[in-house]
Amino acid sequence: MQRLDKYLADFGIGTRKQIKEHIKNGAVTVNGTPAHKADMHIDEYTDKVFFMGKELVFEKYRYYMLNKPDGVISATKDGRTKTVLNLLKDENIKGLSPVGRLDIDTEGLLLITNDGQMIHRLLSPSFHVDKEYEVHLEHELSDSDIELLEKGVDIGDVQKNGTPDITMPATLKKGDYDKEGYPVVYLTICEGRFHQVKRMMEAVNNKVIYLKRIRMGTLLLDSSLAPSQYRRLTDDELKSLKDC
């Protein structure tokens, strides 16, 4: 159970004052009857709440796939810079968080949800969920670079006992060249260390020119989503992500 005005506020319908006004004007009905009190309590699971003739359907968990653009930060709030949540226009963003972080200049797949259990499972180092990246490099990787990157490289992290914390085994596939002639590779890692891909490439004296995440576990970036576009996960995507 929760207060009607709070319930409406979570749908982004307006400020408390505006909501009060809407209620007063009869724009909100509960189970077919105009609501008259902002502080009345409703059962979000069973009561049917309509605002201006449109049903406000309560969903406990929400899951979105965003194609993160360059220049937006993967956080819920930031004083100055646009966050990924600001891109979810017309959505109830309350309680939503991005699943992990992409650097401000990294593009691609970002899952956004309010399902804390899923966030924990996908990010927990013990679950080793694969993350695949399309990486555009300053120059070609040699066979020995590929071997090193796949086996594990020293990216400057140190373990508690003072020894280098080598990256976990990864897989790397060579791709084509991009429009500017930079070589493209596809790197799959199962960790999520800070700037990991960039630091791995630096460890073999290379440099990332452009980075895009294209897969997380079983979830593939929908190629029809332009940067900044998003959509809900399908039931099949959600099911396989929960099983992965």
Annotated catalytic residue 47: no
CA 80, 83, 85, 88 dihedral sign is: positive
For position 149 contacting ligand URA by CB under 6 A, the verdict is: no
**Residues 78-107 interacting with ligand URA (rule: CB under 6 A):** 102-103, 106
For position 241 contacting ligand URA by CB under 6 A, the verdict is: no
The most distant pair of C-alpha atoms in the chain lies apart, rounded to whole Å, by 72
Q: Which of 211, 219, 221, 241 binds ligand URA (CB under 6 A)?
A: 211
- HSE-CB for 67 with a 13 A CA cutoff: 13
Scanning 154-162, 191-199, 218-226, 231-239 for contacts with ligand URA by CB under 6 A, the matching segment is 191-199
How are beta strands 208-216 and 107-113 bridged, if at all?
parallel
For residue 111, with 0-12 CB atoms within 10 Å meaning exposed, 13-18 middle and 19 or more buried, which class applies? buried
Q: Which of 62, 68, 136, 198 binds ligand URA (CB under 6 A)?
A: 198
Among residues 113, 61, 60, which one has the least CA distance to residue 230? 113
Between 91 and 103, name the residue whose CB sits nearer to ligand URA: 103
**Residues touching ligand URA, count (CB under 6 A):** 8
Give me the residues that bind ligand URA (CB under 6 A), please: 102-103, 106, 195-198, 211
